[in-house]
Structure 1
Amino acid sequence: MKKIPYGISDFKLLKTEDYFFIDKTDYIPKLENHNSRYLMFLRPRRFGKSLLIAILEAYYDIYFKEEFETIFKDTYILNNRTKEASSYMVLRFDFSAIDIYDVEESFRYDLQITLKSFVDRYNLDIQFDNKNPISMFKKIFSYILKHNLKLYVLIDEYDNFANKLLLNSKDDYLNIVSKKTALFKQFFTSLKAGTAGNNAPIKRMFITGVTPMTMYDVTSGFNIGDNISLHPLFHNMVGLNQFELEQTLKDFELEERVDKSILKEWYNSYIFSEDVEEAIYNTDMILYFVKKFMINYKLPREMIDINVRSDYSKLRSIIYTNKKLNGNFKTLQTLIGGESISVSNLVQDFSALNIDKEDNFKSFMFYLGLVTIKNRQLKLNLKIPNETVKRIDIEFLSDALEIEKVFEINVSKLSDFLAEFALQGDIEVFKYLANMIKENTGIRDYIYSEQTVKSMYLAYLSLTPYYVIKSEEEMNKGFADILLKPFNPYVEHIGLVEFKYIKKDEKKPSQKRINSLVAKAKEQLLNYEKDEIVTTYLKKGLKLQKVIIVFWGWKMVYCKKVSVI
């Protein structure tokens, strides 16, 4: 059995040390034949961009020419190599390790080491008079031109440290991207110069990153080449499609052991182009699952990789303005409540200075992987892709409310109440949450619709490990407000919850009004309980609990179980 390549982005190591590998080398000719030689490709963290960079390096670098057959054994490209294979000097940069607390010096040192290593690697007769990286750059370009050589520049995670800097200090970010004397800006100015003219030293360039913001700010838009991030031809260049997932499970002898619907629920549904239909899986999330599952062939206790959580941890700052919750918080509420958000079109060029503009912020979330394409109905609708991202979003929301002292709750107590629902069908957990909403007066400004009430329940019920909490799940041609879908093997009850909401500015509802809403909810629940999702659990011996909740503004005025017919 092959080794699991979790966290491995060294292509030569991966291929020569018997690691599992999904062959993506058929994309090399597609990239080569694209109408631009200078490309930028954006994807969320941990999708396999660094491995893609390593594949391109091994393929084009003359340094690996003698090892080509070994490195590319059993790949598509071995028998379909192009004329440009093994014909370039490759200058590869990786900006993931730049220290954001000493950016200028750290970036300077990184460039110096990279450029010096490049010269040593190819044994070039270049003497550097000083340690100014821009001067070093120019000398390399001059040498390339003088000796009629070909240079391929690869940049991995071009915006890694810039994004961290932006979330840490906007002023520091602006200094590195806009000041003419900033080395980062000079670097990209030199790159652009290296692509200009009839005999440009840089013959090809491929840049990976997460968002287009930094490139826009440092170069006034990516005017060096072509951003192919939303191009349907390159949709599956990183990540795994369904066939590749099946191949992965088969190679690790897991096809009969793993419930693929769980993988789809937690790690799938990423769509990066309007013109494709098949969603893709996050590569590292799948490899994390395989690694954990193969320990004892049981579902991991923690389905979310701690590294994924840490990638997003700094993003909490995007829902604050002047230390107060902003409109982005309401966008998060909408998404957690099960609704989609919409944009006219995804913005492909925008400045970090304008991230607060609605379409820019939503596009920013898309590039980060916090939302993905759902469909287009005049406008483009975006949704949370999967359970992993939903729980990360929920942590943003709950942490923000707690930090702002808007809503504080004893999660341990909440977990105990939900455990009672899971084991005995007790609905006290729903009343407890309502009581917390009542006690935390600061939350009232954020309770203004059924959707916002529901988002609070969805968020806090999801903080416990017993259920996957689904919202607006399609069930028997209707959409259930909340489905508590068992995820722990000891859970004995499945839950369906229907919310009804009366606006807080309306007069106190009469019992007749409440009864009318309850009757409507009963009809809906009766319909949902006939759905295959529910009947499958019932056949396994679980019991169904149907709950109706009515809120008047921020006050719960009704909460009861409905008998199952």
Structure 2
Amino acid sequence: MANKIYPIGIQNFEKLRRNGYFYVDKTAIIYRMVKTGSYYFLSRPRRFGKSLLLSTIEAYFQGKRELFEGLAMEQLEKEWKKYPILHLDLNIGKYETADSLDKILDEALLKWEAVYGTGVGESTLALRFKGIVQRASEQAGAPVVILIDEYDKPMLQAIGDEDLQKTFRNTMKPFYGVLKTMDGYIQFALLTGVTKFGKVSVFSDLNNLEDMSMLPDYVGICGITEEELHTDFKDSIQELASSLRMTYEETGAELKEFYDGYHFTENSIGIYNPFSLLSTFKHNRMGSYWFETGTPTYLVELLKRKRYDLENLEKEVTSLDVLNSIYDDDSPIPVIFQSGYLTIKDYDRRFKLYSLGFPNREVEEGFMNFLVPFYTHVNKVQTPFEIRKFVDEIECGQPDAFFRRLQSFFADTPYELARDLERHYQNVLFIVFKLIGFYTKVEYHTSEGRIDLVLETNKYIYIMEFKLDGSAEEALQQIEEKHYALPFDADPRQLFKIGVNFANRTRNIEKWEIMI
């Protein structure tokens, strides 16, 4: 067996090291960071190791050399100095009211003031923080280290509430501004979060903060690289392979398909999701571990509110300015990218444009399944069973049964989606055929609001043309006139040509015609 205790949910470096949990050594990267700069910001998706990173840095600045025995840091660091540390974790609170952030910050400040004292005239949160930094440094005879975990949690929870976001922003801006005004008392500072909020001025005055999120040198500071996977987890992969009755190579390929694929800058190595990978090795089975630990409801609400064309999730092209900002009135893409549901797939150096897409199958399939209840009447529990029935009907050559089931997906269209029926039809079709595509071969493209689709199984080929307020006969005629079936003339599989019409009046599939 792989003799490892996997640190699922362990975010404290000292606990991890003292209790024998397995650790992928990131300390050489940490050493380079602390020796070449003072103020950093890091954006990474949830459960990617940000909290453990901060805890590791805290142990380093506490001078706890014994915790780094056998790691790169033990050989790299020669001095092991001790510094006063102010560690703030904003992940602990719920930010639903205007004073909720103030209460969390006040609690942290009171704790620090109990150690370092209070100052005259420190009447605001920012002034109290400033006084604590100065007194901590003076009392310790060393500059302060400031670590802030999930700095953006209040802003994320307030998405969709502009007044609440403004309130939080007005609190955060002067509070974080202390990092610049007290530079002489600060040795090192790192803020982590999921999003950047570049366009809402949280950091507008903090221009000494270096954003390492997309720097090539720090791509692997969180998550697991391909090299680390096959060096540190070789025995784990072999054990998983035996459990799955697969070869080592086949298992490695499956792990890559499901959990690799995060690219945080252009032309970079792929990063594996650490939570899913470690969970897979601990339980010796593949699973949607990362996706199932968090529900992206707020992201789906954004997509619905903006009437977003879901097909663009696979081919979104955007600029660095958009990737480095948070959701605004124009696009939900920044927060979806920064949350880890989309990643960089390609980069056009000439025009400085980034092509986005799903990082891996876990995210892609999980996100598509999660979308179904938001766009149809089919609930979360029913979704996998419904998709299985779709696939069975397609694989058994039963297109009539398939389309009757598809009709049920359009039944009782939610009112807010019915206002843009054409986009709603497109999105539901995209979701359904995307999910079916994990088990059969699906090719589709959209043109002027219509979806032309080819679906292939071992025995059957389906060519489909969709119309809105036209006729099924007209759609079928288009398949004939444009020779959509020509590429399959020599194919021995049975071919179905299917014309489908949607009707605005009924808000559903009105009719389909099948030609064999």
Q: TM-score range by the shorter chain?
A: 0.7 to 0.9
SS of residue matched to 1:23: coil
Q: Cα deviation per residue 1:487-540 (whole Å; 9 max; x = unaligned)?
A: xxxxxx7687654436547775386643455x644625978x9xxxxxxxxxxx
Query: Aligned to 1:236, which of 174, 195, 220?
Result: 220
Q: How many angstroms apart in 1 are the aligned matches of 2:38 and 2:227?
A: 30
1:534: which partner in 2? none
- Aligned positions, number: 484
Identity in percent: 22
Change in Cα spacing, 1:548 to 1:511, as seen in structure 2 (3 Å) is closer
1:21 is the counterpart of 2:20: no
SS of residue matched to 1:256: helix
1:368: which partner in 2? 339
Q: Is the 8 A contact 2:465 2:479 kept in 1?
A: no
1:254: which partner in 2? 239
One-letter code aligned to 1:523: P
2:77: which partner in 1? 81
Q: Is the 8 A contact 2:395 2:459 kept in 1?
A: no
What is the CA distance between 1:434 and its match in structure 2? 4.2
1:400 is the counterpart of 2:374: yes
Q: How does 1:533-544 map to 2 (within 5 A)?
A: none
Structure 1: gaps spanning 5 or more residues:
474-479, 485-492, 530-543
1:267 is the counterpart of 2:232: no
1:418 is the counterpart of 2:411: no
Q: Is the 8 A contact 2:463 2:484 kept in 1?
A: no
1:159 is the counterpart of 2:152: yes
Query: Aligned to 2:404, which of 416, 432, 442?
Result: 432
Q: How many angstroms apart in 1 are the aligned matches of 2:428 and 2:110?
A: 56
What is the CA distance between 1:151 and its match in structure 2? 1.0
1:139: which partner in 2? 131
Q: How does 1:449-464 map to 2 (within 5 A)?
A: 454-458=429-433, 461=436
Q: How does 1:272-351 map to 2 (within 5 A)?
A: 272-276=264-268, 278-293=269-284, 298-300=285-287, 303-305=288-290, 307-310=292-295, 312-321=296-305, 326-327=306-307, 329-330=308-309, 332-335=310-313, 339-347=314-322, 349-350=324-325
Q: Is the 8 A contact 1:421 1:427 kept in 2?
A: yes
Change in Cα spacing, 1:173 to 1:381, as seen in structure 2 (3 Å) is same
SS of residue matched to 1:309: coil
What is the CA distance between 1:376 and its match in structure 2? 2.4
Q: How many angstroms apart in 2 are the aligned matches of 1:437 and 1:415?
A: 11
Q: Is the 8 A contact 2:179 2:206 kept in 1?
A: no
SS of residue matched to 2:228: helix
Query: Aligned to 1:213, which of 194, 197, 207?
Result: 197
One-letter code aligned to 2:157: K
SS of residue matched to 1:7: coil
Q: Is the 8 A contact 1:38 1:224 kept in 2?
A: yes
Change in Cα spacing, 1:520 to 1:423, as seen in structure 2 (3 Å) is closer
Q: How many angstroms apart in 1 are the aligned matches of 2:495 and 2:364?
A: 24
TM-score by length of 2: 0.79
SS of residue matched to 2:91: coil
One-letter code aligned to 1:79: Q
One-letter code aligned to 1:13: K
What is the CA distance between 1:375 and its match in structure 2? 0.9
Q: Is the 8 A contact 1:215 1:222 kept in 2?
A: no
2:330: which partner in 1? 357
Query: Aligned to 2:209, which of 225, 238, 242?
Result: 225
Q: How many angstroms apart in 1 are the aligned matches of 2:162 and 2:145?
A: 33
TM-score by length of 1: 0.73
1:386 is the counterpart of 2:357: no
Query: Aligned to 1:171, which of 156, 163, 167?
Result: 163
Q: How many angstroms apart in 1 are the aligned matches of 2:205 and 2:134?
A: 27
One-letter code aligned to 1:281: Y
Q: How many angstroms apart in 1 are the aligned matches of 2:144 and 2:406?
A: 64
Change in Cα spacing, 1:351 to 1:411, as seen in structure 2 (3 Å) is closer
Query: Aligned to 2:93, which of 98, 102, 106?
Result: 98
Change in Cα spacing, 1:222 to 1:285, as seen in structure 2 (3 Å) is farther
Q: How does 1:32-47 map to 2 (within 5 A)?
A: 32-34=34-36, 36-47=37-48
One-letter code aligned to 1:356: D
SS of residue matched to 1:96: helix
Structure 2: gaps spanning 5 or more residues:
245-250, 445-451, 503-508
